Structure formats: C-alpha cells, structure tokens
Chains A and B, each alone.
Chain A
Amino acid sequence: MSLPILLALFIVASVIGYKVISDVPSLLHTPLMSGSNALSGVTVLGALTVAAVAKAPGHKFPGAIAIVLAMINVVGGFLVTHKMLRMFKKGTESEGRKNVIG
C-alpha cells in the first residue's frame, strides 16, 4: 500500500479514535488504558513480517524477540482488562452485602 494512502489512514484513524475515546468515562480509564495498551501490541503484525523475511540469524533473532514482546503486550493487556472489567458491578448486582450493624 502506498505511503499517501497509509498517511490518510493514519489521520482518519486518529480522528475516529479521538472521537470514540473521548466518550469513555473516567470510571473506566484504567481498563481503557490497559485495553488500548493491548492494542498497541498490534506491532506484532510488523514483527511477524520482519521475522519471517529476515535471513541472517542476527536479524531473525531480534525479530522473534519483537514477536515475544508484542505478544506479551497483547495477551497480558487484554486478559488484565477482562479481569478488571468483570469487577465493575452495579448496585443491584453487587453480592455479599451484609448487615454490619443491627
């Protein structure tokens, strides 16, 4: 894909991203950050490509490291976001409410 098209894509994605993310309430900013953090592991796509086409071992090895790092980012990010989001409960859903006084 040519550079001008990629550049246009970059701008459009930034603007849409900005718009959508502005609607996320501060209540969910930590999960938003860990979730978007997982998304930044998308660089694994580039890592896969370079590791695959690299011929010299001195290039292949760093490529593989890049895949490992990015996958930690992706998997760790999404899982931890899931773990957090499951804790958010509305008043009526919250269990374990006991009468402490009385």
Chain B
Amino acid sequence: MSSVNLLGLLFVAGTVWGIKLMSSPATAVKGNLLGSVSMAGAIILTLVSEGIVSLPLLWVAIAIGTLFGYYMAVKVAMIQMPQMVALLNGFGGGSSAVVSLLALLGVLGDISTADRLTSGLGLIIGGITLSGSIIAAAKLHGKMSQRPIIFKGQSTWNNLTLLATGVLFISLLMIPSDGISQPAFWILVLSLAYGVLFTIRVGGADMPITISLLNSFSGIAASISGFAVRNPLLVAIGAIVGASGLILTRLMCKAMNRSLAQVLAGKTVLLVGKPTAEIGTPDVDSVSQKERAVTDKDQDDFLSQLRDAKSVIVIPGYGMALAQAQHEVKKFADALEDMNKQVRFAIHPVAGRMPGHMNVLLAEADVPYDKLYEMSDINDEFKETDVVIVVGANDVVNPAANTAEGTPIYGMPILKAYEAKHVVIFNLDTKPGYAGVDNPLYSEDTVTLVLGDAKETIPQALSGLSRSINPA
C-alpha cells in the first residue's frame, strides 16, 4: 500500500475513533478535536498527493470558507442550532453537487459510463440537499412559515419532477460526451426544484426528521462525488456521515411513530390530521373553564404539593426554549434540590427542533447532564413521582396519543406525566401543540395549569415557594 493510501486510512480511522469518543460527554470534546484534525490531515494529504498545494486560488477559497464558517459558529445561539446545521448541510450538499457537475462536464478528463452514473447521482442528491436545506433553514429561522405549504396536485408535481429527473439521468448515461452539458444542467435545475417541493410541505414539528434526512443526504452526496473524483477518503467519510444521518432519521421516525416512507412522501402531521376544530371542541370549553379557575388557592395547592414532594421530574419542551426560560427552570430546579428533593429532567426524543436539541439547551443553562434522562430510562418512574413540572411541552405528554385513534399523534410514544401524583403545567396557553390535538391532561384533577410566559411564571412560582417555606 502506498504511503498516501496508508495516511488516508489513518485519517479515516481517526474520524471513526473520533465518533466513537462522541458516545460519552466526558470524551466527546476530544472526539470532535480528533475528527477535525483528521479532516485537516485529509485536506493537506489531498493537496500534497495531487501536487496542487501551491495553487493560490485554492488557499484563497479555503481562507474565505474558513472565515465564514468561523463567523457563523461564533455568532450562533443554541436555540438556532437546527437552522445552523440545516444550512451547513445545504452547503455540503451544494459543494458535492458542483463537484459532480464539473466531473460530468469533463473537467477531470474523459468519463466512463460508470463515472456518469456516480456523478449524475451526486448531482441529484447534492442538488436536493442544497435547496431542501435552505428551505428547512428558512422555516426554522422564521423567514418562512413553519406551517406546511400545500397546493393542489402537489404530489403529482413532485412525482413528475422525479420522473423527469430520472429520464434525464438515463439519457445522461447514453448520449455522446459533447452533449452532456444540457441534460446535466436540467438535472441540476430539477433536483433543486425537488428539494424545494419536498421541504415546503414539512411542518415545524417534523423538522427533526427532515434535518436528519438532509444530514444523511449530504453525506451520501459527498460519498458519491468521491466516486466521481476517485478519492477514497471522500468515499469513506461521506459514507460514515450518510450512515449517521440515517440512524438519526430512523430514531426520530420511531419517536414520532412515523415511517420513513411517509416522511419521504410528504405525509406530515398536519396533512394527515383532521382540522383542529373538529377534534375535541368540548374539551376546549372545559379547559378554558379550568383556566379561569386557576386562582390563588390553586397556586397555594400546587406550592404545597411541591413543598411536600420528595421526587420531582421536569419535562421541558420547545416552548421553554421559545420563552428563553432555561435559566429560570434551572434556578427552580436548584431551589427544589436545596430542599432535598430528587429532581430529574425527562427528555422526549423529539423535544426541540432537532435530535438532542433539548439537551443542548439545558446544558447551556448549566443543568448537569447526569440529571437528563432519556424517555426509555425514566418513563416507568412517573408513577412513583410526586410532582411533574411540564414547561412548554404539549404533544410529548399528550395522553391522547394512546387513545385518540386517527389523530396525527396516535401511537406516538409519550412521557407518562399523567401517571404522576400531581402535574403542574407551565404553558403559554391551552392551544393544542404542533400536532393540533387537544390535550386531555389539561382537564385532569391532578393537574394545575399555570398559563403565561414561562420566563415570568416560573420565577413567580419560585418566589411563592420561598414564601411558603419562610413566611416573613
């Protein structure tokens, strides 16, 4: 084996080992460093082995990209992480699309049918990743509505776009070399169009699945463009990313009780759901009555429940992040711990807008990670728990998921907050969550609703709790 290949293998091994170190928070920082060093090594190896290390253009482009990347990473807030990752996915996909396109155009010399096959695929997947990720990022960043955009005959248009891309792709394999640029161009246009068509119909709550899928695509696109330029490092590392995204996609689908095929076909929550008004209109009435009934007495009740509680589980949702109430929640949890209560956090897999988003938001607020529990690890403990505190979460604790057949969340695994002795819910309002299904939990007797901005209601509850312990 040549020294180039040997070094290449070393960098791939470094990448894999880096990901392996990512399996524990204690070693993950090192894992990420190892990954970035391996990547730097791979770049230098490519520059040297191809004899292109002295070209100024390359270094200028590297410098510009590095500056922009640095700027983005420094500026980004943790709540913006999903759109940042989405955008970066898009850039990776776009880069792969360009590489494949240039390979198709014969920049690297004459290309065989096999090369046309791989370059064509790289172009399609890269193009879809680019435009799809930009739409996803725009939705997550609030530049576009998070509601699915649906128009008449959308599925037909989607399928036609795919079909046309397929036909062009096949023609790409058969036509003479000097006629390649036309179909290649149209394949790029259609792939970009498909990326848009595919993501505009995805709703906000389905974003974790979509981002994971686009993550996988960006890896696959890189790997395939590696075939086009015959770079084994690119093939191997791209494949690893593809696998990673696929695993996360599967996990997210499972957590939302959706199949990958449904997501690919654009059958999102709101599409399969009935109009909100039809579901449980009577519930809304009873909820709003209860809402009015949240009095000082109720406040005293849940404060005394909290005071007497031995075990508390906090369930944070995306609403907490929107209210920017992580630090308030952390203070509240600290106060409860100081009163010698056991305090744990239960994290639903799809809480937030990307896999693991809630954990990052809580880590930012200094909540130690050994207090964060996955759903499967804590779900049996709710029945032994005195008080559950829900902050800005709805669908993930909605018992309708177990019973309301035909609703979008039916069959979705939920955190069993309803099994606890008491539940206090700090939500902005009693509107249904993103899935559009009313939450019967709101009208249970064991449940206290505290409505309003969690950034205000949590500190209020905290000072109420202090007063009830140390009456002045």
Do A and B come together as binding partners? yes
A-side residues, CB < 8 A to B, are 1, 3, 5-6, 9-18, 20-55, 59-60, 62-102
Across the interface, A73 reaches (CB within 8 A) one of B12, B19, B92, B244, namely: B92
The answer to whether B91 and A28 touch across the interface, beta carbons within 8 angstroms, is no
The answer to whether A6 and B366 touch across the interface, beta carbons within 8 angstroms, is no
Please name the residue on chain A nearest to B469 by beta carbon: A101
A81 to chain B, nearest CB (A): 5
The answer to whether A89 and B368 touch across the interface, beta carbons within 8 angstroms, is yes
Please name the residue on chain A nearest to B373 by beta carbon: A27
20 contacts between A and B (CB under 8 A): A10-B236, A15-B243, A26-B356, A27-B25, A27-B347, A35-B22, A40-B215, A42-B237, A42-B238, A44-B43, A46-B95, A48-B46, A49-B231, A63-B102, A72-B68, A78-B36, A80-B73, A84-B360, A94-B367, A94-B368
The answer to whether A100 and B222 touch across the interface, beta carbons within 8 angstroms, is no
Given contacts A32-B22, A73-B69, contact A102 B107 (CB under 8 A): no
The answer to whether A93 and B102 touch across the interface, beta carbons within 8 angstroms, is no
C-alpha spacing A40/B184, complex, angstroms: 23
The answer to whether B70 and A75 touch across the interface, beta carbons within 8 angstroms, is yes
B391 to chain A, nearest CB (A): 17
The answer to whether A34 and B81 touch across the interface, beta carbons within 8 angstroms, is yes
Q: Is B147 positioned at the interface, with any CB of A under 8 Å from its CB?
A: no
The answer to whether A6 and B235 touch across the interface, beta carbons within 8 angstroms, is yes
**B26 cross-chain contacts in A, Cβ below 8 A:** 90
Please name the residue on chain A nearest to B245 by beta carbon: A36
Given contacts A85-B25, A87-B360, contact A22 B247 (CB under 8 A): yes
Q: Is B168 positioned at the interface, with any CB of A under 8 Å from its CB?
A: no
The answer to whether B52 and A43 touch across the interface, beta carbons within 8 angstroms, is no
11 further interface pairs, Cβ-Cβ under 8 Å (given A28-B359, A43-B238, A90-B369):
A6-B235, A28-B23, A40-B218, A40-B221, A50-B103, A62-B102, A64-B57, A66-B102, A69-B91, A73-B92, A91-B368
**B15 cross-chain contacts in A, Cβ below 8 A:** 39
The answer to whether B107 and A66 touch across the interface, beta carbons within 8 angstroms, is no
C-alpha spacing A88/B462, complex, angstroms: 25
C-alpha spacing A84/B368, complex, angstroms: 13
Chain B positions 5 through 47: 1 when the CB is less than 8 Å from some CB of chain A, otherwise 0? 0000000100110111011111011011101100100110011
B245 to chain A, nearest CB (A): 7
The answer to whether B28 and A100 touch across the interface, beta carbons within 8 angstroms, is no
B348 to chain A, nearest CB (A): 10
Given contacts A10-B236, A62-B101, A68-B68, contact A34 B88 (CB under 8 A): yes
Count CB-based A-B contacts (< 8 Å): 402
**A11 cross-chain contacts in B, Cβ below 8 A:** 239
B96 to chain A, nearest CB (A): 4
Q: Is B296 positioned at the interface, with any CB of A under 8 Å from its CB?
A: no
The answer to whether A37 and B92 touch across the interface, beta carbons within 8 angstroms, is yes
The answer to whether A53 and B108 touch across the interface, beta carbons within 8 angstroms, is yes
* Interface-central residue, B43, B74, B462, by most chain A CB under 10 Å: B43
The answer to whether B42 and A75 touch across the interface, beta carbons within 8 angstroms, is no
Q: Is B432 positioned at the interface, with any CB of A under 8 Å from its CB?
A: no
Given contacts A13-B239, A14-B239, A62-B101, contact A26 B19 (CB under 8 A): no
Given contacts A37-B88, A43-B225, A49-B231, contact A101 B466 (CB under 8 A): yes
The answer to whether B462 and A66 touch across the interface, beta carbons within 8 angstroms, is no
**B335 cross-chain contacts in A, Cβ below 8 A:** 100-101
* Interface-central residue, B69, B74, B84, B231, by most chain A CB under 10 Å: B69
**B248 cross-chain contacts in A, Cβ below 8 A:** 29, 32-33
Q: Is B76 positioned at the interface, with any CB of A under 8 Å from its CB?
A: yes
Of the listed stretches B59-67, B256-264, B316-324, B397-405, chain A binds: B59-67
Given contacts A33-B85, A34-B81, A76-B69, contact A48 B52 (CB under 8 A): yes
Chain B positions 351 through 371: 1 when the CB is less than 8 Å from some CB of chain A, otherwise 0? 000111101100110111111
The answer to whether B226 and A6 touch across the interface, beta carbons within 8 angstroms, is yes
B64 to chain A, nearest CB (A): 5
The answer to whether B239 and A86 touch across the interface, beta carbons within 8 angstroms, is no
Chain B positions 302 through 343: 1 when the CB is less than 8 Å from some CB of chain A, otherwise 0? 000000000000000000000000000001001100110000
Q: Is B242 positioned at the interface, with any CB of A under 8 Å from its CB?
A: yes
Chain B positions 91 through 121: 1 when the CB is less than 8 Å from some CB of chain A, otherwise 0? 1111110110111010110000010000000
* Minimum-distance CB pairs A-B, first 8: A71-B65, A75-B69, A29-B356, A17-B240, A79-B73, A76-B69, A29-B355, A67-B61
Given contacts A26-B355, A33-B355, contact A75 B65 (CB under 8 A): yes
The answer to whether A66 and B99 touch across the interface, beta carbons within 8 angstroms, is yes
The answer to whether A36 and B232 touch across the interface, beta carbons within 8 angstroms, is no
